[in-house]
C-alpha cells in the first residue's frame, strides 16, 4: 500500500493542486486539506478533515496554512503540532513555520545570524516612526502578517500628509515595522532551497511605475544565474529555520546584496516559470524518501 500524504493548502489553487498531483502520481493517494475546515478534538486526540483523521496519515506537506497571514494562522499551526506529536511527518515542521509567519520573528532571527538586511526599525510610537522616516528619507511600513506586499505603505519624508498616514497605518498595525526603501533596480530575486540544498534562483522583474516587484503587483518571473557568494548568502539566511522547502528574497543594491525575508512556504511557481525547475516533483520525491526511511 502506498504512503498516505496530504497537502495542506488552498483547494483549487494551482500550486496546491500541482503538489497533490505529484504526490498522487507516486502514491496513488490524494488529499487536499483546507485548514479552515479542520477540527481538533484534544480529548480524543483526533485532527479531523472530511472524515479523515490527519493523525493517521504518513505525512503532511504544508503548501499554505491560510490565504492571508494573521495571528489566527498561527493557531492552525499549533493544531498541526498534535498530528506531529502522534508521529505524522510534516514538511515543513509547524514550529519552523511559526518562526516565519510573523515578519518581526523572521527579521530578528536573520539579524541574529548576521544576514545583511535593509535598515529596519520597529516601534509603537508615532513620534519615533516620524523620526525614523526623516532619517530614512523614504520607507516602507509593513504589517507583521502579510504576503505579496499586501498592506504595505510607501512613505516619503516631507509629504504633507505624512503624520496622518503614519497614524492611519498604526491604527491597523499597532506595532509598526519600518524598513528603509532600497534601490531594487527594478528587480529582486527568489533563491530556492529544498531541505537546505540550493535548487535555483529566479528574478521578479517589476512592472514600470510599481515600487515593488511582486507578481501580485504585475511583476514577471525571469531566469537568473547567481554568483557562488550570493548562493552562500541565501544558504546562510535559510539555515536557521530548518525548512523543507523555502525561497529567500534577495535584492542586489548599490551597497551589496540584502535579504528581505525567508518564505514560510516557498515559491513553486517562481521555480517553474523562472527557472524551469519542477519543484513540486522534487518536493514529492523528498517527502517520500523521508517517510519511507
125 shares a domain with 83: no
Q: What pLDDT shows up at residue 99? A: 86
The CB-side HSE value for 192 (13 A sphere, CA atoms) comes to 26
d(CA 150, CA 216): 9
Query: Tell me, what's the pLDDT at 219?
Result: 73
- Residues 201 and 189: their CA atoms lie apart, in Å, by 7
CB of 238 closer than 8 Å to CB of 248: yes
pLDDT at 57 over 60: yes
What angle in degrees, to the nearest 10, is found between the helix axes of 94-101 and 71-85?
170
Q: 50: domain CATH number?
A: 3.40.50.20
213 and 270 in a common domain: yes
Q: How far is CA 137 from CA 11, 130, 158, 289, in A?
A: 43, 10, 8, 50
Domain limits for position 231: 102-112+183-277
Among 5-9, 85-89, 141-145, 206-210, the minimum mean pLDDT is found in: 206-210
Global pTM reads: 0.91
Average pLDDT, the chain: 93
Which whole number is the average pLDDT over 284-293?
Answer: 96
Q: What is the pLDDT of residues 226-270, one digit of tens each?
A: 999 999 999 999 999 999 999 999 999 988 999 999 999 998 999
Q: Return the CATH number at 249.
A: 3.30.470.20
Amino acid at each position: 500500500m502506498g504512503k498516505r500524504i496530504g497537502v495542506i493548502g488552498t483547494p483549487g489553487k494551482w500550486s496546491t493542486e500541482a503538489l497533490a498531483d505529484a504526490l498522487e502520481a507516486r502514491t496513488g493517494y490524494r488529499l487536499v486539506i483546507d485548514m479552515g475546515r479542520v477540527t481538533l478534538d484534544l480529548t480524543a486526540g483526533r485532527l479531523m478533515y472530511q472524515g479523515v483523521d490527519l493523525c493517521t496519515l504518513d505525512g503532511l506537506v504544508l503548501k499554505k496554512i491560510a490565504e492571508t497571514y494573521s495571528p489566527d494562522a498561527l493557531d492552525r499551526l499549533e493544531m498541526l503540532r498534535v498530528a506531529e506529536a502522534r508521529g505524522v511527518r510534516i514538511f515543513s515542521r509547524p514550529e519552523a513555520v511559526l518562526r516565519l509567519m510573523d515578519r518581526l520573528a523572521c527579521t530578528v532571527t536573520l539579524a541574529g545570524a548576521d544576514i545583511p538586511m535593509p535598515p529596519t526599525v520597529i516601534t509603537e510610537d508615532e513620534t519615533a516612526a516620524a523620526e525614523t522616516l526623516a532619517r530614512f528619507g523614504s520607507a516602507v511600513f509593513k504589517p507583521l502578517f502579510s504576503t505579496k506586499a499586501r498592506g504595505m505603505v510607501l512613505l516619503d519624508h516631507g509629504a504633507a500628509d505624512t503624520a496622518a498616514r503614519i497614524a492611519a497605518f498604526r491604527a491597523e498595525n499597532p506595532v509598526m515595522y519600518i524598513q528603509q526603501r532600497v534601490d531594487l533596480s527594478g528587480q529582486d530575486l527568489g533563491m530556492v532551497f529544498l531541505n537546505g540544498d540550493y535548487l535555483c534562483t529566479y528574478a521578479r522583474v517589476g512592472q514600470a511605475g510599481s515600487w515593488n516587484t511582486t507578481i501580485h503587483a504585475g511583476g514577471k518571473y525571469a531566469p537568473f544565474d547567481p554568483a557562488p557568494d550570493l548562493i552562500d548568502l541565501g544558504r546562510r539566511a535559510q539555515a536557521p529555520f530548518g525548512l523543507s522547502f523555502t525561497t529567500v528574497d534577495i535584492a542586489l543594491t548599490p551597497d551589496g546584496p540584502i535579504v528581505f525575508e525567508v518564505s514560510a512556504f516557498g515559491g513553486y511557481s517562481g521555480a517553474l516559470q523562472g527557472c524551469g525547475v519542477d519543484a513540486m516533483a522534487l518536493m514529492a520525491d523528498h517527502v517520500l524518501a523521508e517517510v519511507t526511511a
